[in-house]
Structure 1
Amino acid sequence: MDRWLLRTMTELTSRKFVSRLTGRFAKSSFSRRLIPRFVAMYGIAVEEAEKKLEEYGSLNEFFTRRLKPGSRPVDGNAEALVSPVDARVTACGSVSKGMLLEVKGQTYTLDELLNGSPRTSLYENGRFWVLYLSPKDYHRIHAPCDGTIAESEHIPGRVYPVNEFGLTSMRRVLSRNERLVTYIRHDAGEIAVVKVGALNVSSIQYVSPKPKTLDRGQELAYFEFGSTVVLLAESGICDAREDLKPGDNVKMGERLGTLAGNRKGKAEP
């Protein structure tokens, strides 16, 4: 199919109502019939799931499944910054003067990604990781570090796909899609977890009750269908893993970097 036509069709189907319709079907009892086919199509490791396939009442319930205890060990280093999700690393590196460089050939600014938040200045020379969740992945989102939730923000937007086609062929999807941002205050500084909605993601939900304080690896939120998390670390607080590169796969709880010790006198945003 011509790429221009595909882009045009994607624009037309990126409205929220399309995802709502998809979500309504996925939450219906009828959709449970598709679970075995979905498992086979994507090669999902069903042995990790908390329940047996026949115990899930809908496709959405299976998508948002929890795993058996111990399936995702969390790095034991108290200063570890860990992956909040199972994902493929789409991009990672240093933020330079407020720019996230080369995410699939496109350059994003922190200001647009964080919707002009006054907290943007904290991350101007920090670190970033773009983490893509495919349909086969575990879709719950966990705390990347210990800390307290300083602020949460919902940013309305579109629902373009965040797969290879979406990131390379559509214009700046990470900053145009709907986003749910959680700012976490760690002793070393601040971490932002930017949860990006996508085509057929009917919603991004916090767990209930929504926590105020977090332990590293604690459940925080979940996607209904696949999407992307952009993880940001404040300037000067994180030594990133040097061996991690775009295209690598990570599991929730796997170390992405090490946070520096407590910084005295750090200015509040």
Structure 2
Amino acid sequence: MKANVQALTKQEQLNFLLTNRIPRRWLTLFMGWFSQIHSPLLTQLSIKIWQLFAEDLRLQDAKKQSFNSLGECFTRQLKDGLRPIDQRAEIISSPCDAIVGACGRVEGSKVFQAKGFPYDLSELIPDARIAQQYRNGLFVTLRLKSSMYHRFHAPVDCQVKQVNYISGDTWNVNPIALKRVEKLFCLNERAVVELKLDTPQASITLVPVAAILVASMKFHFLPQVLDLRYKGANIISCDARFQKGQEMGYFQHGSTIIVFASEHYQLCADIEEGRPIKMGQALLQGHPFEHVTSSMPDAAA
């Protein structure tokens, strides 16, 4: 048993060194460039190599089966009907396919990325008004593996008025790194997306966190791609409305979305650390409230 533990520790150390103690920014910029090369043959070869390390890569679920670039494969759409949305009014659905990471109550303003590794809400969310809404609230960390469906969707009917993009590092966000790098989510590239709901007592905010290799996120309601090359304003104004389950954007590689909810919500019964979840499945539940009733134009237009 002791030998197995030691072997696992050495394996984790090697994983951490290979994915973090490297020129992270340079490798991320390179991978961003490489993933956009349009070459069906190179893409096919890259996918075959990728499948050697990702046995759970399910390209048969994709709308299209051939890709002109690796980036097209990363950001693939799924066949219609594969992700039914839980439409119950009291349910906040998962915005993405993911593995559930640390989750539970925010202790005052303290959140945990892993056991023994806390960070303060203000360190992750620089807007004091937004951060204050989640004191003693609820959080769920959703980790998107590189092999997963990379698009994220509205977990509830909502409106988005602005995105706060925070430039940062590109640490790996896997559990091995989360146990070794303090306040990792507060160090990485990320965006704060407050979802305006049609009720004063409820509040939901998504914090997509980018990671190594392709630290890039695209919101359909913003003209620019948010990545290491972005040099624009941190606060980006917009006016987009979404129906529950409507696509909001995508990552260009696996990453993480942290979902924050006001204190009257609770985790659904089967949500626990290490459990997989699909986009559209029940994530949080709270008191039933009215859906946004105004017209919901397609925000991707």
Return the TM-score normalized by structure 1: 0.88
Moved over 4 A (4+): 1-9, 208-211
Q: CA deviation digits over 1:115-168, x for unaligned, max 9?
A: 244211111111100011111110001111111114311011000000122111
Cross-structure match for 1:13:
23
Work out the CA distance in 2 between the residues paired with 1:61 and 1:96: 40
Q: 1:34 offset after TM fit, Å? A: 1.2
Gaps of 5+ in 1: 264-269
Work out the CA distance in 1 between the residues paired with 2:77 and 2:164: 25
Residues 173 and 211, structure 2, Cα contact 8 Å, conserved in 1: yes
Range with bigger deviation, 91-100 or 101-110: 101-110
Work out the CA distance in 1 between the residues paired with 2:19 and 2:68: 32
Secondary structure of 1:96's partner? Answer: coil
Cross-structure match for 1:198:
211
Q: Which amino acid aligns with 1:13?
A: P
Q: 1:121 aligns with which of 132, 137, 141?
A: 132
Q: CA deviation digits over 1:64-93, x for unaligned, max 9?
A: 000011010111212310111111011110
Q: 1:227 offset after TM fit, Å? A: 0.6
Within a 5 Å distance, the mapping from 1:1-269 to structure 2 comes to 3=13, 10-15=20-25, 17-30=26-39, 31-32=42-43, 33-39=45-51, 41-43=53-55, 44-52=57-65, 54=66, 56-101=67-112, 103-188=114-199, 189-208=202-221, 212-236=240-264, 238-262=265-289
Secondary structure of 1:212's partner? Answer: strand
Work out the CA distance in 1 between the residues paired with 2:19 and 2:208: 24
Residues 7 and 170, structure 1, Cα contact 8 Å, conserved in 2: no
Range with bigger deviation, 170-179 or 35-44: 35-44
Work out the CA distance in 2 between the residues paired with 1:202 and 1:99: 26
Work out the CA distance in 2 between the residues paired with 1:202 and 1:8: 17
Q: Which amino acid aligns with 1:10?
A: N
Residues 205 and 223, structure 1, Cα contact 8 Å, conserved in 2: yes
Q: 1:243/1:6 Cα in 2 relative to 1: closer, same or farther (>3 Å)? A: closer
Q: 1:29 offset after TM fit, Å? A: 2.2
Work out the CA distance in 2 between the residues paired with 1:40 and 1:161: 20
**RMSD, aligned CA:** 2.4
Residues 96 and 150, structure 2, Cα contact 8 Å, conserved in 1: yes
Q: 1:218/1:107 Cα in 2 relative to 1: closer, same or farther (>3 Å)? A: same
Residues 14 and 199, structure 1, Cα contact 8 Å, conserved in 2: yes
Work out the CA distance in 2 between the residues paired with 1:145 and 1:87: 17
Gaps of 5+ in 2: 1-9, 224-238, 291-301
Range with bigger deviation, 202-211 or 21-30: 202-211
Range with bigger deviation, 65-74 or 76-85: 76-85
